[in-house]
Amino acid sequence: MTGGLSIPRDDLDAIATDLWARLVRGKADRKSPWHTPVVGTADGALRVMVLRHVDAVAGALRFHTDARAPKATAVGASARVNILFYDAGAKLQLRCSGVGRIAADGGMADAAWAASAPSSRRCYLAPTAPSSRTDAPTSGLPADYDARLPTMAESEAGRGNFAALTIMLDRIDWLYLAHDGHRRALFERQSDQWAGCWLVP
């Protein structure tokens, strides 16, 4: 779906269907430009994160993080989160916002951890919290895991540092950039339904 817009750019329903399809693809396809959006928290910090789950029905996105990271503290049990997606090939920008929640315990976090590969779990084996100052360049990982991936059994030691960041979206700002005239639409969640309208780009 990259390389140009494959839907009518003047149909709100088609745009809504397409943007959710692109988000679902972004979660599954590491080569998708929407696999690694920019996520911003209320403290003003921005970072690139990997999109881990998309629930189009609930309007939810999920990312994974270290429970000790500053962003986990910034979001906590409820805080505004903004996400920026950009696909240069399709000339599409998507700005999403909603209420985020950090979950380090419970069924959803347990399931997310269970589904994570050793390459992802390795990040959570660092004995020191992310953003901690250090005297020398470091991955933060124990030396043994700099050179190899942990086994699934070894990776379990990182479970206590793992958390899921879920954002319940309530606003999606869609922008298509075109030489013959941009198009912009806004989708807002009202109760359990999305309502769309056009905006001047």
Q: What pLDDT, in 10s, does the model give residues 28-65?
A: 999 999 999 999 998 999 999 999 999 999 999 999 99
pLDDT of residue 3: 46
* Residue 61 within a domain: yes
* Residue 62 within a domain: yes
* Residue 167 within a domain: yes
* In the predicted structure, residue 8 carries a pLDDT above the cut 80: no
* Residue 3 within a domain: no
* Residue 191 within a domain: yes
How does pLDDT run across 127-166, given as a tens digit for each residue? 999 999 999 999 999 999 988 999 999 999 999 999 999 9
Q: Which domain holds residue 24?
A: 12-199
pLDDT of residue 179: 86
* In the predicted structure, residue 74 carries a pLDDT above the cut 80: yes
Ramachandran quadrant class, 4 (left: phi over 0; alpha: psi -120 to 50; beta: rest): left
Closest residue by Cα to residue 92 from 28, 200, 184, 186: 184
* In the predicted structure, residue 1 carries a pLDDT above the cut 60: no
| pLDDT band, very low/low/confident/very high, at 180 (cuts 50, 70, 90) | confident
Domain with residue 64: its CATH number is 2.30.110.10
pLDDT of residue 191: 84
* Residue 7 within a domain: no
Tally of domains in the chain: 1
Closest residue by Cα to residue 51 from 23, 16, 75: 23
pLDDT over 90 for what percent of the chain?
A: 87
Integer CA distances (angstroms), 186 to 20, 72, 168, 189, 200, in order:
14, 28, 16, 10, 10
pLDDT over 70 for what percent of the chain?
A: 96
* Residue 30 within a domain: yes
* In the predicted structure, residue 125 carries a pLDDT above the cut 60: yes
